[in-house]
Every structure is written in C-alpha cells, then in structure tokens.
Amino acid sequence: MTRLLTALVMVLAVVAQRPAGAVVTGSIFGPGSQSFPIAVVPLRALGGDPGGRIGQEFARALSRDLQLSGYFKLLDPATFVEKPDSVGLTAAETDFVGWAAVGASEVVKGGVLVAGDQVTVEVRMFDVPGRRDVPEVGRRFSGSRGEVGRMAHKTADRILEVLTGERGPFDSRIALTSTRGGRLKEVYTYAFDQDAPTKVTTVRSIVVGPHWRPDLRSILFASYEQHQPRLYQVDLLTRGVRPVIPKGVFLNGAWSPDGTRLLVTREIAGNSDIYLYDAGGSEIRRLTDHWGIDVSPAWAPDGRRFVFCSARAGSPQIYVLDVGGGDPRRVSHAGSYNTSPAWSPKGDTVAWATRGAGGFQIVVQPLDGEPRTITERGSNEDPSWSPDGRYLVFSSTRAGRQTLWMADREGRTQNELTGGVGGDSSPAWSPRTE
Amino acid sequence: MRSVGWWSWMLVAVLCAPLAGGCKKQGPSPEDGVGGPDGAGALGEEGVGGGGAGGAGGSSLARAQQGLSPEEDGVLRDVPFGYDSYELEGEAGDAVERNLRWLRENPRAKVEIEGHCDNRGTIEYNLALGAKRAGSVKDHLVEQGIDATRLSTISYGKELPVCSEETEACWVRNRRAHLVVLGR
C-alpha cells in the first residue's frame, strides 16, 4: 500500500512541476509580449579566450537574436548574480534564489574553450522557477572562430523552439542591395551578428532584386552590366557572376522553393509579363499576356502557385495565379497601389507594400482574408518573410535614411537591423542555413 | 579677329560629343522587338559611353558609372509623364514634336529612349513603368514615320534620378523619358 502511495506521490510531483517555459499557444502570446525575462551571461573563458572576447561575442549575438524575436526581456548585465569568470555550468552551481530575486525566468550561461582556430562552446539554459537545467537547449558546439555567430544563432533558434513551440529564424542570412559602398548598388549579405552587411558583387552597374537560390550557394539578381537588364547569379563561394538566362530583357526573377524553376518578369517592346523558366535558362511557359504591367512574381511554398503585381485593372494590385497558367485572381482589395508581394513560407499569407499618404506601408493578409497594416512610420518597401513565417524584413526610411528593419507579422515589434550609412534596399531573407 | 566665346566651344563640344564617344555596340537587334543593343555592353562599361568633353551626353547609366548625374534634356528634349502614367499628354506633346523634328533633320542618327520614374513607386514596378514610358515615346515616333530600327528603349525605373527631394518639383523632373543620341 505504501508503495502505491509513494508511486502516486511521485507521479503527482512530476505532474505538478512547472516545465521550463510551458509552450503557450494562442494569439495573446506572440512577439511583442515580452513574456520571458531572460539573463544571457557571457560565456566563461575555459581556456584560450583572453579577455573573454569570444564569450562576450556569443552572448551579444544571442542576446540580440532574443531581443529581436520580441518574446524576451533581456536583463541588464549589471544586475547579474553570477559573473562570466566564475559561473558554474550545472544546476548545482546555479544561484536560483539570486536569479529569481533579480527577476530572471531563464538564465543562459556556458563556457568557451579555444585551441588555435578551433572553438568549443558549451551552452546551457536554466529554468529559474523550476531550478533546473533545460536539456533540450543545452548543447556543445565545435567550429572555427568565424562560426561563433552561427553557434549563437542556433542557440537562439533552439531556445525559441523550446519556449514557443516554433524554431527561430536567426540561423539564416539576408541578401540585399545597397549603395553603402559606392554610388551604384551592389549585392550584399547580412547575418544577424554582423555590424554591417558584407559586399558580395562588384558589378559597377545597376543591380536589383536579389533572391536566394534555395541551396544558399548563389544569389540571383537583375543587372544592367550588359546594357539591358538581365538575370545573373553570384556564387557565394567564388564570387563569380554568370548569366542565368542568355537572351532577353528581364526585370527580376525568383527561384522556386525546390530550386528547379524560375518565375521571371520579362520585358518585350515596353510590356512586362511573367514567365516560367527552367534552371537551365529555357522558357517553360508564358504566364501572363496582358498589355498592363505584370511584375514581381513570388512563389508559394508549395511551388504550385505564385502572387504577383499587375496593373491590369488600372492600378497596381496583387494577384494569385497557378504556375500551370489560367486566370489570375485578385488578392488585394483595398488601396490604390499594392506591389512587391511576398508569400509566407508557412501557409497562405501574403505580405506586400501599399502606398499611402507618406509613403509605403507593409500589409499582411491571409490570401482570402482581411489585410492588416503593420508599419506606420517612414516609407517601407519590399517585404520578405523569415523562414519560420513569423517575421518580415523590409527597407524603411523611418530612421532618416534607408536601412533594413524587421517586424513580426502583426507589427508589434519593429527593430532596425542594418544601421550605419544605410542605402539598403530589396532584402531577401534566406531559408535557414541548414 | 574676334575671339570665339567659351560658350561656342561648349556648343561644339555638346554637338560633337556623340561622335567622340566610343560606342562599340552593334546596331539594334531584333531581340524582344525593342531593338535594344544586345552585345558586349559598350554603354555599360566604365569610362565609355558616348559622353564626351564636359560630361555632355551619354546614357544615364554610363554617366552614373563616371560619377556624373543623369542629364536633363540634352540634344533631345526629355518627355514628361503624369503620376503613374505612361500616356503622352500635355507638355509631352511639345517635347515629342521637337524630338521628331530633330530626328527628321538627322536621318542617320540612332537614339536610345530611357524610361525613368519618380521614387514614389517601388523598385520593380518602376522598372516596368519606365519600360512603358520608353515604349510610348518610341511607338509615337514610329507612328510619325521614324524608322523603328533607329530607336531603342531601356528602362531605369527609379534607379537614376536627377534629384532626390520629396517634392512635386523633383518628382516631375524624374518622371521622364530621356533620349540619348547614340551616333549619327
């Protein structure tokens, strides 16, 4: 009888224990609610990291990702009850009482060991009320010095997965065009731990509309390098640039999610229409045939439909069409100028830019639902979805010059991503790096 | 002997600039019906571009590659357009008439018609709108008897503005078809 009672008590104890950050679903919980007060302690230097620089770099990148996600309140390091040079890496060595007193719900800490160019990072997350290590987050990473940023992004994405049920998007990159290196735009890439984007092309002409190939090995863009705009791709390893479609004038293009086909805007005799091409550069079929402007195709994640911008009804609006052809169906019903659509990787939701009095604002709308405007300051253009479908990156002029900003799909969080001199445009958020 | 004013030399430079430029392009190809030059892009190369002394002439892109602002008017008149429009109306008629006259008086001249937009549209839509504007001008000139093979078109959207102020005065200057003499 006592055995049964003991078993019962044990079962109740397990059931009653608050799991670390129980997954909460529902619309009241989302980015912008800042639900989790979290402390990110710089990694303890276990050897080979003089001054703890790598440990700080990891913490800084992780903190920024968590802050951008909109789910966290990052605690001020001045209040930390454990210091980087003396943190313990186990629950037994964690001052849960102290952390609770400063308001932390989660604590992230760990250590870093450097030997030559090999960096080993051990990171753990502790649930403060539960007084325990959260094993789903704990991980050891091994890599080169240059991969520390990605280690932080993978940790952030994992923390988000455990606490929100959805893996985070930060182990990814953004392609963009920018004039920050000169008068004329070039293609750049940006990772979330960078201070500024990295230049990828030196075309010295006009470049527009960068789009990732799904294997992340190259970026597609239109360039006037050969006088008329054409589609090219730049190999990210070699930085070599080569044409994608040998003949014709093309204003933009986008790879299908499986990387085998391209939707492109082709211009003939002043008129722009959407075409489907294969990866080898051969035309598969013409998809629009209208005297009105048809431009900016964006694939659905199922690879069978796409949205695009058409002025066939007299003003630019968003339409959806099957990749097999047919009659486009109108998607945008409010406003007189709707353009630059992007289809969420998760479900039938589309974002685009709508023109208002002061400039462009970003709109998010389920395909057959109601639009929601998620920006209001400055002029905001060219939205692109995060791989988890929760966020959008776009260009914005609200900070005085054009830089990239990130917002969650409901617009509750808005954060500047690239700063500095700006001149950034046309962002494209890559799939996750692996 | 009376000395020739400096302005005379400027005028000569402007008129001779297209001849001085090394335009290595082939003639308009049948590609895409636009007759856009298609080969090794001479106008796209740095330092080359039909622009001669004093930075006169040259395509807007070639000028930008040389650090120069796009030209307004030039040998031929810029054709203005209304907001979001590619119709030739109002003052456009004047500019087109003057360009028509020039083209008839210079029967061997080849011209590229650039379509430009103000910055109140988005990048890609404006590339398409600029193409429409250039196409409108070309269609009209051809209707009036100019040989289509003399005319090529290209769109620069809002990528090469002549000004950047958020004012109607600036927007009106950017909504234009700009005609560049390629050779005669």
Q: What is this model's ipTM? A: 0.90
Q: Does B168 touch chain A (CB under 8 A)?
A: no
- The answer to whether position B48 is within a domain reads yes
Interior angle at CA A155, CA A24 and CA A176, nearest 5: 100
**Residue of higher predicted confidence among A34 and B175:** B175
Chain A / chain B CB contacts < 8 angstroms = 129
| Of the partner residues A208, A269, A360, the one whose CB lies closest to the CB of residue B32 | A269
B interface mutation test: which of A202, A228, A247, A275 has the most B CBs within 10 A? A228
| B37/A271 Cβ within 8 A | no
Q: Does B40 touch chain A (CB under 8 A)?
A: yes
- Contact by Cβ (8 Å): B23, B41: no
Q: Kindly state the percentage of chain A with pLDDT values over 90.
A: 87
- The answer to whether position B17 is within a domain reads no
CATH number of the domain residue B90 falls in: 3.30.1330.60
Q: Which residues of A touch B (CB under 8 A)?
A: 183-185, 204-206, 208-209, 224-229, 247-249, 251-252, 265, 267-272, 293-296, 309, 315-316, 337, 339-340, 353, 355, 359-360, 381-382, 425-426
Residue B132: closest CA among chain A residues belongs to which residue?
A270
| A309/B125 Cβ within 8 A | yes
Contacts of A358 in chain B (CB under 8 A): none
Q: Which residue has the tokens 């058409």?
A: A310
| A271/B135 Cβ within 8 A | yes
Q: What pLDDT, in 10s, does the model give residues B118-153?
A: 999 999 999 999 999 999 999 999 999 999 999 999
- The shortest C-alpha distance from A114 to chain B (Å) reads 46
pLDDT band at A30 (very low <50, low <70, confident <90, very high): confident
- Contact by Cβ (8 Å): B138, B151: yes
Residue B83: closest CA among chain A residues belongs to which residue?
A315
| Of the partner residues A184, A249, A293, the one whose CB lies closest to the CB of residue B132 | A293
**Residue of higher predicted confidence among A299 and B57:** A299
- The shortest C-alpha distance from A237 to chain B (Å) reads 25
Contacts of A224 in chain B (CB under 8 A): 41, 44, 61, 156
Q: What pLDDT, in 10s, does the model give residues A148-204?
A: 999 999 999 999 999 999 999 999 999 999 999 998 999 999 999 999 999 999 999
Q: Looking at residue A8, what is its pLDDT?
A: 59
Interior angle at CA A286, CA A283 and CA A288, nearest 5: 150
- The answer to whether position B78 is within a domain reads yes
- Contact by Cβ (8 Å): A29, A35: yes
Could you give the residue ranges of the DSSP H alpha helices within B21-91?
60-65
Q: Kindly state the percentage of chain B with pLDDT values over 70.
A: 70
Comparing CA positions, the residue from B24, B29, B25 lying closest to residue B149 is B29
| A226/B44 Cβ within 8 A | yes
| A252/B61 Cβ within 8 A | no
| B159/A227 Cβ within 8 A | no
- The answer to whether position B59 is within a domain reads yes
- Contact by Cβ (8 Å): B37, B25: yes
- The answer to whether position B140 is within a domain reads yes
Compute the average pLDDT of residues A326-348: 97
Question: Bridge-partner residues for A241, per DSSP?
Answer: A234
Comparing CA positions, the residue from B120, B114, B1 lying closest to residue B63 is B114
- The answer to whether position B26 is within a domain reads no
Number of domains in chain B: 1
**Residue A119 token pair:** 């960096």
Compute the average pLDDT of residues B28-34: 39
- The answer to whether position B106 is within a domain reads yes
| Of the partner residues B41, B132, B156, the one whose CB lies closest to the CB of residue A270 | B132
Contacts of A183 in chain B (CB under 8 A): 64, 67
> Residue A266: which residues within 8 A CB-CB, separation 6 or more?
A248, A249, A250, A251, A272, A273, A274, A275
**Structural domain of residue B120, as residue ranges?**
44-183
> Residue B122: which residues within 8 A CB-CB, separation 6 or more?
A339, A340, A353, A360, A381, A382
- The answer to whether position B133 is within a domain reads yes
Q: Looking at residue A33, what is its pLDDT?
A: 78
- The shortest C-alpha distance from A227 to chain B (Å) reads 5
Q: Looking at residue A434, what is its pLDDT?
A: 75
pTM of the model: 0.87
Three-state SS across B113-138? Answer: EEEECCCCCCHHHHHHHHHHHHHHHH
Comparing CA positions, the residue from B59, B93, B70 lying closest to residue B173 is B70
